[in-house]
Structures are given as C-alpha cells and as structure tokens.
C-alpha cells in the first residue's frame, strides 16, 4: 500500500542541523527556558517527567509549526503542552537557508521542584 503525502508537495526541504547550528539552537532554548516556568507551575504534578517538542523553523528563524511528541513525552497534560508550544512559538531561532526549513526534536526534562533541563535531538 502506497501513501501519498499531499502536504509534502508544498513544504520546503527540511535540513539537519550542524553541530554549530545545534549550539545556536541550544542557546536560544537556554535563554528562553524560564518562560516555561509558568506552564510547569500550573501542572501541580509531583512527578518528574519529559516533554518532547517537534518543531520546524523557517528561513526567518520563526517557529513554523510545533507539536508534542505524545509517544516520547512522559506526562499527559494538554494544558501544559499548549502553554509550552505557545511560548516556544514566540522564540526567535537562527534562520534556515532561504526557501528551506529546519526540523528539530527537543526534549525538556522537568523535575518535581519545577526545575527545567533540556537537551537537543536532531
């Protein structure tokens, strides 16, 4: 059975980040991570957990799309997810090359003291 992706025909090519670009993205996340604190404090969860966000950056450095990886994320909280995505969409990342996008998978680790930690997958 073949699956045809109609949306794929309209999306620009996606790039994989170099190690230098990953460092630039990490810096953006580190500088903005505190914005997630209000999202996390509203969860009132006593557990530690991981939230993985898949997002795409356009050639202006804006977040084109963002989604929670429901399989890899270790908490089921739609309010938390939406809050984190809303915050992330306001961040300015390094620009993708003209006419291209950059796809990023970024895990955020949150402990029961509301401390955040992040690392980058790509």
Element spanning 57, H or E: strand 49-57
The two beta strands, 63-68 and 49-57, are: antiparallel
Find the length of the chain.
122
Query: What average pLDDT does this structure show over 65-89?
Result: 91
Calculate what percentage of the chain has a pLDDT beyond 70.
75
Which of 7-16, 28-37, 56-65, 109-118 is the least confident region?
Answer: 7-16
pTM, rounded to two decimals = 0.76
Domains and CATH numbers, the chain: 12-118 (3.30.2420)
Residue 21 CA to residue 71 CA, distance in Å, equals 26
Q: Phi then psi for 104, rounded to 5 degrees? A: -130, 140
Q: What's the pLDDT score for residue 65?
A: 96
Judged against a pLDDT cut of 70, whether residue 31 lies above it is answered with yes
């Amino acid at each position: 059975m073949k699956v045809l992706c109609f949306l794929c025909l309209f999306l620009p090519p996606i790039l994989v980040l170099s190690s230098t670009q990953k460092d630039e993205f990490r810096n953006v996340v580190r500088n903005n991570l505190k914005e997630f604190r209000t999202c996390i404090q509203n969860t009132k969860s006593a557990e530690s957990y991981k939230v993985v966000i898949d997002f795409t950056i356009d050639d202006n450095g804006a977040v084109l799309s963002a989604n929670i990886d429901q399989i890899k994320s270790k908490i089921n909280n739609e309010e938390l997810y939406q809050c984190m995505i809303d915050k992330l969409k306001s961040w300015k990342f390094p620009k993708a090359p003209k006419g291209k996008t950059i796809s990023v998978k970024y895990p955020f680790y949150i402990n029961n003291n509301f401390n955040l930690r992040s690392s980058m997958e790509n």
